[in-house]
Amino acid sequence: MFELSREHEAFRASVRDFAEAEIGPHADQWDRDHYFPVEVVRSMGRLGLMGLTAPEEYGGVGEDGDFLSLCIAIEELGRVDQSMGITLEAAVSLGINPILTYGRPEQKERWLPDLVSGQALAGFGLTEPGAGSDAGATRTKAELDGDEWVINGAKQFITNSGSPITSVVTVTARTGSRDDGRPEISAIVVPSGTAGFVAEPAYDKLGWRISDTHPLTFVDCRVPQGYLLGDRGRGYAQFLGTLDDGRVAIAALAVGCLQACRDMAVDYAGERQTFGGPIGRKQGVAFQIADLEVMLQASRALTYRAAAMKDAMSRGASGAPSMKEFKQAAAVAKLYATESAVTGTRIATQVFGGYGFMEEYPVARFYRDAKILEIGEGTSEVQRMLIARGLGLPVE
């Protein structure tokens, strides 16, 4: 059985207190208004949430932080509001970590301090209109002109890409062709405000309405050659590695969703009176909530296991899992937790009956928010493909 340390439990309590005090009272109104609370994001930075995987030299928490702590923070934010959970997840897993992992010293010094402090956000520009799960089908191009990259193309569904405090977006682009004829894909950092880079109007989304999500366009957008992130031609591989971590973080967000739905369903089933007693005494209701509890515990165990594996690898611990083992664990956690969250929100909404269909009850917001969990950071179909390949099956 996986048990958290006292330090992790204390950290969980501090994040929970923050979320319940600073986000909980406003989440419904922010959701209705599609409002992105910049000051709360900055407060998350002051609490140290953006720096949980970053070293002290860039303002991070250093040895006091780890990937499991990040997952706990995402879970606790997501228990109150899923949009704020994904804001943190994307800020760290997709914004900070690629620069931290692949950036050169001067790139880290330029961008990480503001990102780690929560004074700025970064986006991760991978998905395109014709390249979602098939990220290798990237059409955005970047060509060298002297000492500058000239970028042309479009990205879509990019989180934290057009907020008032977004400072950079890292994008994948074709920078040539490989010897085998396949496209050479590289990653390039594009600062906000660069001529030719436009964050188009935000999407009108079914869920995650508080989070910042935009389509992006690049028309003759020029950035210095030195803004290439990592090695030329390694952008696709870099982002695949980034997504492994992101899948575990999305699983943590799903755990927060399940926890919220379990809590709401239990409370409502104990209060709602029909036929002379609470509906929770009816087996038809009680058994569904029991199933929800099973999904919650299993999802949390899978997620924490994968996060602990990541931390063991990062520390170089004796007996640490291989990258292949971690990839498999990440896919399993992501698949099970996110599909469980979708089922769990349906159960909770059903427990509430007609009230579950009313926006005045938070369960409706969680119901809307859950579906994207099965899509973002690799669809359920992609996770099943990865798991099958990990078992040695030649699936395409």
The residue type found at 131 is: A
Give me the residue label for tokens 């990258």.
Answer: 323
Tokens, residue 118:
């929560």
Instruction: Give yes or no: 377 in active site.
Output: yes
The number of CA neighbours under 13 Å toward the Cβ of 88 is 35
Q: Do 17 and 35 meet the contact criterion of CB atoms below 8 Å apart? A: no
3-class state of residue 174 by DSSP: strand
Q: Structural domain boundaries of the chain?
A: 6-121, 123-232, 236-390
Nearest C-alpha neighbor of 59 from the set 92, 85, 83: 92
- Choice among 76, 89, 374, 377 that is catalytic: 377
Q: Which residues of the chain have pLDDT under 70?
A: 1, 133, 135
- CB atoms inside a 10 Å sphere around CB 144: 13
Instruction: Return the pLDDT at 133.
Output: 67
Query: Which of the following CATH numbers is that of domain 123-232: 3.40.50.1980, 3.30.450.20, 3.40.50.200, 2.40.110.10?
Result: 2.40.110.10
Nearest C-alpha neighbor of 157 from the set 202, 94, 197: 202
Q: How far apart are CA 191 and CA 115, in angstroms?
A: 13
H helix count then E strand count, the chain: 12, 10
Q: How far apart are CA 4 and CA 297, in angstroms?
A: 14
Query: Which of the following CATH numbers is that of domain 236-390: 1.10.3720.10, 1.20.140.10, 3.30.390.50, 3.40.190.10?
Result: 1.20.140.10
Q: Do 303 and 373 meet the contact criterion of CB atoms below 8 Å apart? A: no
6-121 falls under which CATH superfamily?
Answer: Acyl-CoA dehydrogenase/oxidase, N-terminal domain (1.10.540.10)
Q: How far apart are CA 14 and CA 2, in angstroms?
A: 21
Instruction: Return the pLDDT at 3.
Output: 83
Strands 121-125 and 166-177 turn out to be parallel
For the whole model, what pTM was predicted?
0.96
Instruction: Return the pLDDT at 396.
Output: 86
Instruction: Return the pLDDT at 64.
Output: 76
Radius of gyration over every alpha carbon of the chain, rounded to an integer in angstroms = 21
